[in-house]
Amino acid sequence: MPLARGRTIYDTAMRRPRTAFDRYFDEQMKSPAFAAEYRVARAEIDAVDKLVRALDAARIIGRLSKADLARRIRARPEMIRRLLTSPDGNPTIETVLQVAGALGYHLELVRNRGGKGAKRVAPRSHAARVVRAGYRATLRGVLERYSWPSRRTFS
């Protein structure tokens, strides 16, 4: 069977099947308010991930094991392993500062491009919760949490 124009065998072989959550998410993204909140929440998650990946890269460059890093900040090795490998980690600023200091780095506050801060100061909205849910939870957990109408088919 020939491939669609512009597709490679890797595109079709690596594609995962769409889930009920994917369809629900696509439907929610049609709402401009939801899409805007999603972009804000996604940016926050990506920023935390980028920071944790930078700390892990600094650890590797410094040729420190995770256990050695844990000893330097007087923490349990499991905590460092979770921080550096968990896809849903959300470290406190205190932990980030301790790890950065132990690696010989510090954090600086740098103004964003354009000089404008975030306009959102309210608690996270439904969109942000859906992003976190999709990032962390199983399909069943998401469906239960947001009362998806066809939930009964996943029992």
> Where residue 56 falls among pLDDT bands split at 50, 70, 90?
very high
**Nearest CA to 130 among 12, 33, 48?**
33
Does the pLDDT at position 141 exceed 50?
A: no
CATH no. for 32-106+124-154: 1.10.260
At residue 153 the predicted structure's pLDDT band, cuts being 50, 70 and 90, is very low
Highest mean pLDDT among 42-46, 58-62, 121-125: 58-62
Among 113, 143, 125, residue whose Cα is nearest residue 36 = 125
User: What are 97's two structure tokens?
Assistant: 């500062």
Q: Is the pLDDT of residue 97 over 50?
A: yes
Stretch 77-91: mean pLDDT: 87
Q: What is the DSSP string of 49-113?
A: HHHHHHHHHHHHHTT--HHHHHHHTT--HHHHHHHHH-TT----HHHHHHHHHHTT------PPG
pLDDT of amino acid 79: 92
